[in-house]
Amino acid sequence: MPQSLADQFRLQARNNAWSNARLSRACTELSPEAFAAARVSFFPSLRQTLQHILFVDRRYLADLTGPGRATVNWAELPDTAAALGAAQLGTDRRLIAFCDALDAPELTRVVMIDRGDGIDYRETVYAILSHVFVHQVHHRGQAHAMLAGTSVPPPQLDEFFLAQDAPARDEELRQLGISVPHERVG
């Protein structure tokens, strides 16, 4: 059981990376045309949905770590499933490293968010991280539904770090180069 909120965010960051990798792996089985095809959802394709996830993750990480979101550019996002998956994994690793360094005072640090609309947004680190993880789940669910309308079966994405899933999960995390969480079952 997590001993602190920081521990919970460390687990969520790993679960997030695991789910993103599973979704990415499924999307690479699609043809480029099927990946970019118009579908019914908030964003009109799997490609644009995964680009949005990556874009938002990078913007919030920029807010949390410095130089700020103005350095993140949509036009520079990859547009193939494989390249998007690799870019997302790199961003997920950065998010894990950020969460691994968290302590209680850092969680309550207030971060300035510049959305370019002239409003001075200020949020705590823990509120931003909570939003990032919910945002990910929301859009991964949309991508999962879109994938269900293709020839590629959607992957299992709704698992968390249950002890029963440890063997498969831990091996997948190792393959991604992500350290395995150490949970206690009591």
Q: Output the domain CATH number for residue 171.
A: 1.20.120.450
Task: Answer yes or no: is pLDDT of 173 > 90.
Answer: no
pLDDT band at 186 (very low <50, low <70, confident <90, very high): very low
Count of domains observed in the chain: 1
- Contact (Cβ atoms closer than 8 angstroms) between residue 147 and residue 125: no
Q: Which range in 67-71, 96-100, 171-175 is most confidently predicted, on average pLDDT?
A: 96-100
Q: Is the pLDDT of residue 70 over 80?
A: no
Residue 13's domain comprises: 5-175
Residue 45 lies in a domain: yes
Q: Encode pLDDT of 96-133 as tens digits.
A: 999 999 999 999 999 998 777 888 899 999 999 999 99
For 148, which DSSP code?
T
Give residue 134's pLDDT: 95
Residue 130 lies in a domain: yes
Q: What is the mean pLDDT of the chain?
A: 88
Three-class SS state of 36: helix
In 3D, which of 97, 131, 137, 127 has the Cα closest to residue 15? 137
183 domain-assigned: no
DSSP string, 51-119: HHHHHHHHHHHHHHHSS-GGG--GGGS--SHHHHHHHHHHHHHHHHHHHHT--HHHHT-EEEE--SSS-
pLDDT of residue 88: 97
Query: What was the pLDDT predicted at 2?
Result: 56
pLDDT digits (tens, 9 = 90+) for 17-26: 999 999 999 9
Return the pLDDT at 117.
Answer: 83
What CA–CA distance (Å, rounded) separates 170 from 159? 13
Residue 186 lies in a domain: no
Over residues 134-155, the pLDDT tens digits come to: 999 998 989 999 899 999 888 7
Of 182 and 145, more confident:
145
Please give the average per-residue pLDDT across 173-179, as a whole number. 86
How far apart CA 117 and CA 20 sit, in angstroms, is 30
